[in-house]
């Protein structure tokens, strides 16, 4: 029964991630950068959690070099490209505000680092993974607020 429940959750999570992709049409360039980063965070984290669930179902624990790693890698590569495009547009908009430009750079660097660190660590179970990612969410929100304050 537990396996069936986990498999159902694993099947539903990617669908939820695709629903997150709906973007309001009137976002400004800076808000677009924040939106693209949040979308990347949600979609890729779900892909990684599905990967963790598959590993746990297989009974192999969390190991580096897993055959399901391509799902997460593909997501990260795709989202980094999209985030880079919205970052370039945002810094063009903030060009006249040096403090906001510096904050936006910090935000983007952390967002890229967060995506790079989205892989499960060796021996890490799902609850540990979620706790580690939640800590990154707090820092990302802090940097977003810094950009917003500096852009005023």
Q: Is 115 within 8 Å of 76 (Cβ atoms)?
A: yes
Q: Is 47 within 8 Å of 17 (Cβ atoms)?
A: yes
Q: Is 106 within 8 Å of 33 (Cβ atoms)?
A: no
Instruction: Please list the ranges in the chain whose pLDDT falls under 70.
Output: 1-27, 59-69
Rounded Cα gap, residues 149 and 8, in angstroms: 42
Question: Could you read off the pLDDT of 3-35 as tens digits, one per residue?
Answer: 644 655 555 555 555 545 544 445 588 999 999
Residue 80 has what pLDDT?
93
Q: What is the pTM of this model?
A: 0.73
Write out the two tokens for 77.
């590569």
Rounded Cα gap, residues 14 and 43, in angstroms: 8
């Amino acid at each position: 029964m537990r396996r069936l429940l986990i498999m159902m959750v694993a099947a539903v999570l990617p669908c939820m991630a695709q629903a997150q992709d709906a973007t309001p049409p009137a976002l400004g360039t800076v808000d677009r950068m924040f939106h693209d980063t949040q979308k990347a965070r949600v979609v890729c984290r779900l892909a990684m959690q599905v990967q963790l669930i598959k590993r746990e179902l297989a009974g192999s624990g969390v190991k580096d070099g897993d055959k399901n790693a391509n799902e997460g890698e593909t997501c990260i590569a795709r989202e980094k490209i999209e985030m880079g495009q919205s970052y370039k547009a945002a810094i063009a908009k903030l060009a006249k505000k040096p403090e906001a430009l510096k904050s936006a750079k910090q935000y983007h660097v952390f967002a890229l680092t967060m995506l790079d660190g989205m892989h499960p660590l060796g021996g890490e179970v799902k609850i540990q993974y979620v706790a580690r990612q939640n800590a990154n969410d707090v820092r990302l929100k802090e940097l977003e607020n810094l950009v917003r304050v500096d852009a005023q």
